[in-house]
Structure 1
Amino acid sequence: MSSVSPVARTRPAGEPRLDFVTCASPAGLHRMAYWEWGDPDNDRVLLCVHGLTRTGRDFDPLACALDREYRVVCPDVVGRGRSDWLIDPNGYVIPQYVADMLTLLARLRPARLDWVGTSMGGLIGLGLAGMATMSPALRPARGPGGLGAVADVPLGRMVFNDIGPALDASGLARIGAYVGQALRFDRFEQAVDYVRTVSAGFGPHDPAGWRALTEHVFVEQNGQWIKHYDLRLAQPFALQTPEATTAAEALLWQAWDHLPVPSLILRGAQSDILTQDAARRMTERNPRARLVEFDGVGHAPTLRTDAQIAAVRDFLLAP
C-alpha cells in the first residue's frame, strides 16, 4: 500500500514528491522530510541518504536515472533541509538517524530495500545493517540472492559513497572547521562560490552543477542566503574524542565484517575521509564488497556525472 499523501501525488512530472514522517527522539517528536521519485506503489525501494550538511536533493540526477526500476526515496536527515530541527542537539548522532530511518522504512514497507549512502549516509546504512549483528532478534534472514532482513527490512544491495569503518582524523577536522560557521550572503552567487570552495573535493562541475549543489543547502531569509541546516550539528561533532572515535570504529568494523549483502564502495581518488588503505582493507575483510575509484575527485563523488551514475546503476541492477 502506498503511504504518499494525495497532495504529494500531484507534484509536476519531473519533480520529486515531498512528504514527511513523524519520528521520535528522547526529547520529543520531530518530522523528517523525504523526497520521492518513481511509482509510489513500487515496493522495490532505493533509499538514498546524504552527507553531513547536505540534503536529499543531492540525489536528483541519480534518482532520475533509476526511478523506473525503483521507488527512490531521499530523506533530509533531521536538522537539514525541510526536516525539523531537534530540541536537543546532542541527538544529532548516528543512532538517532538510524532510528529515524527505521521509522521511515516502517511507512514505506519495501519488499526489497537497496541503499545508497554518501559519507554520513553510508554510516547510517552501516549502522542499520549492523543491528543484525548486535541483536539475535535482528539477524539477517537468508534467502534467494543472499538477501538479509534487518528488523523485517529486506536488504538487497548497498552503496557506500566515500565512507567506511575507518574515520580519517584529518578529514574529519577539515569538515568540522566549517560545519558550525554562521554565514550570511547577500547574493546567491556568493553562496555558490562558498560551496565551490569548501566542497572542492566534489570534483569538477560546470556552473549549473555548482548552482544545483548550492540551491538546497542554502535558503533565502530576510533577503540573505543562510545555511539550510541547524548549525548545532557541530556540537556533537566537536565533542568526539579519540577514544570515542576508536570505539565507534570498532563497532563499524564489526558491522562491516558481517555485512550480509553485496556492497559497492565508491571512493574519490583524492579523498581525505576514506583512505586508499582503508578501502583496500574493506575489500579484504568483506568478500561481498568491490571498489570503484574516480580520479580527480576527493570527498565525495556527487553521483551527478555519467560515469558515477553508471557505476551505481550497473551495480544495483546487475543480475
Structure 2
Amino acid sequence: MTEPSLNYVTCADAAEGHRMAYWQWGQPDSPHVVLCVHGLTRQGRDFDVLAQALCERAGASSSGGIRVVCPDVAGRGESDWLKDPMGYQVPAYAADMLSLLAHLQARSPISTLDWVGTSMGGLIGMVVCGQPGLPLPVPVRKLVLNDVGPTLQWQAIQRIGAYLGQSGHFNSVQEAADAMWKISESFGPHTPEQWLALSLPMIKPVSPDAGSPLRLHYDPAIAGPFRLTTEEGAQQGEATLWQLYDGIQAETLVLRGAQSDLLSPQTAHAMTQRGPRARVVEFEGVGHAPTLVAKDQVAAVADFLL
C-alpha cells in the first residue's frame, strides 16, 4: 500500500462532540495495531515513512501483517476544530485516543497494541499507558517516546509558544515549506524532497477571497491553553507526569535528538533508572524532534517494535 485510507471516529467533548480523522496503513483486520501520535502542531501524515516501513517488514515476516493507525489529533489535519478551545489539552486528547481504540477494536479485534508518540503524542501516551485502569482493548505492549519525557525544559516551551498559533498564509507550497523550515531546523538534516513530503499535509487551501491560497492545517486556537502555561505550573505538572511514567508497564524506548532543547540528557537518563526503565537511543545532529524519516531513526523504531 502506497497511500493510507482516511477514516473518522466520533469523540465526545463538552459541546456536541467532534470527528477525529485517522490514517490507516497496512492490513485493516490485523490484530497487531501500532498507534502513531504526532506532535503539537503536526498531523498524522508525519508517520508516512515509518508506517510504510513497518508494514513492509511485518508483511515479509511470519506474523502476516500489521495495522498502523495515525490520527490527526483534534484541531489538526482532517479532524474537526473544537468549539471550545480549552479542549485542546492532553487529557482530552487521551480521551479521544481511548475512543479511537474502542472504535478500532469494534472494527477488528486487537491482540497486540504498540504506541509511538512524538513530543505531544508521547505525553498522550504517558497518560494512556501510565494508568493501568483505563479501558484499553489490551494493555500497550511497547511504547516509543520520541524526544519527550516527564520533565520538559522551559526554554523549549517558550520557543514553541513564540510561533504556535501563527497559522500564516502562503502563495505556494514551496513558500509554506520554507517558512516551516525556519522554525523546524532542529528536526535535523532532510533532503528537499523529504521536507516537501513532510510539508504537503501541513497546508490547506483557504477561500479564494483570503488574499493567499494556502494556510497551515491547524486551528490557531490550540495556542490558547498552551499560552496559559507558566513555568511554575509546568514544574508542578512534572510530579504528575513522573507518577504516570512510573506507572507504565509497557516496554519503553526513548528517542532523543542529541541537540534537543525539550528533553534534557538528565531527564532521559532518569527515565532509564525508574518506571519502565526505558532504553534511550540518541541521534546526533538532531534537536527536537526526530521526524522518523531518516533510515537510522526508522530502523530504531522498527527493530524495537518488530
> What TM-score results when the alignment is normalised by the length of structure 2?
0.92
1:30 maps to 2:7: no
1:316 maps to 2:305: yes
Corresponding residue of 1:273: 262
1:230 maps to 2:215: no
* 1:212-227 alignment runs, 5 A limit: 212-221=197-206, 222=208, 223-227=212-216
CA RMSD of aligned residues (A): 1.3
Corresponding residue of 1:4: none
> What is the CA–CA distance in structure 2 between the aligned matches of 1:257 and 1:131, rounded to whole Å?
10
Q: Which one of the candidate residues 294, 300, 303 is aligned to 1:305?
A: 294
Q: Which one of the candidate residues 136, 140, 154 is aligned to 1:169?
A: 154
How far is 1:288 from its partner? 3.5
Residues 220-255 of structure 1: CA distance to partner in whole angstroms, max 9, x if unpaired?
223522010000000000001233212321111011
> What is the CA–CA distance in structure 2 between the aligned matches of 1:187 and 1:84, rounded to whole Å?
24
> What is the CA–CA distance in structure 1 between the aligned matches of 2:84 and 2:222, rounded to whole Å?
10
1:283 maps to 2:269: no
Corresponding residue of 2:176: 191
How far is 1:287 from its partner? 5.1
8 Å contact kept, 2:245–2:276: no
Corresponding residue of 1:144: none
> What is the CA–CA distance in structure 2 between the aligned matches of 1:213 and 1:195, rounded to whole Å?
10
User: Aligned to 1:216, what secondary structure does the other structure show?
Assistant: helix
> What is the CA–CA distance in structure 1 between the aligned matches of 2:77 and 2:276, rounded to whole Å?
36
Corresponding residue of 1:207: 192
Residues 119-178 of structure 1: CA distance to partner in whole angstroms, max 9, x if unpaired?
00000000011222xxxxx18xxxxxxxxxx54432110000000000110001101110
Corresponding residue of 1:241: 230
1:181 maps to 2:130: no
> What is the CA–CA distance in structure 2 between the aligned matches of 1:119 and 1:213, rounded to whole Å?
16
Corresponding residue of 1:87: 83
User: Aligned to 1:115, what secondary structure does the other structure show?
Assistant: strand
Residues 77-130 of structure 1: CA distance to partner in whole angstroms, max 9, x if unpaired?
000000000000000000100000000000112211100000000000000112
> What is the CA–CA distance in structure 2 between the aligned matches of 1:151 and 1:39, rounded to whole Å?
21
> What is the CA–CA distance in structure 1 between the aligned matches of 2:250 and 2:294, rounded to whole Å?
26
Q: Which one of the candidate residues 22, 36, 56 is aligned to 2:44?
A: 56
Matching residue's letter, 1:202: F
Gaps of 5+ in 2: 60-64
> What TM-score results when the alignment is normalised by the length of structure 1?
0.88
User: Aligned to 1:273, what secondary structure does the other structure show?
Assistant: coil
> What is the CA–CA distance in structure 2 between the aligned matches of 1:243 and 1:174, rounded to whole Å?
17
How far is 1:258 from its partner? 2.2
User: Aligned to 1:281, what secondary structure does the other structure show?
Assistant: helix
> What is the CA–CA distance in structure 1 between the aligned matches of 2:241 and 2:87, rounded to whole Å?
19
Matching residue's letter, 1:126: M
Corresponding residue of 2:142: 157
Distance 1:18 1:287, change over 3 A: closer
Matching residue's letter, 1:28: E
Corresponding residue of 1:77: 73
How far is 1:182 from its partner? 3.7
Count of aligned residue pairs for this structure pair: 290
Gaps of 5+ in 1: 1-12, 133-137, 140-149
1:96 maps to 2:85: no
Segment drifting more, 239-248 vs 259-268? 239-248
* 1:98-117 alignment runs, 5 A limit: 98-109=94-105, 110-117=110-117
Residues 29-53 of structure 1: CA distance to partner in whole angstroms, max 9, x if unpaired?
1000000001101011000000001
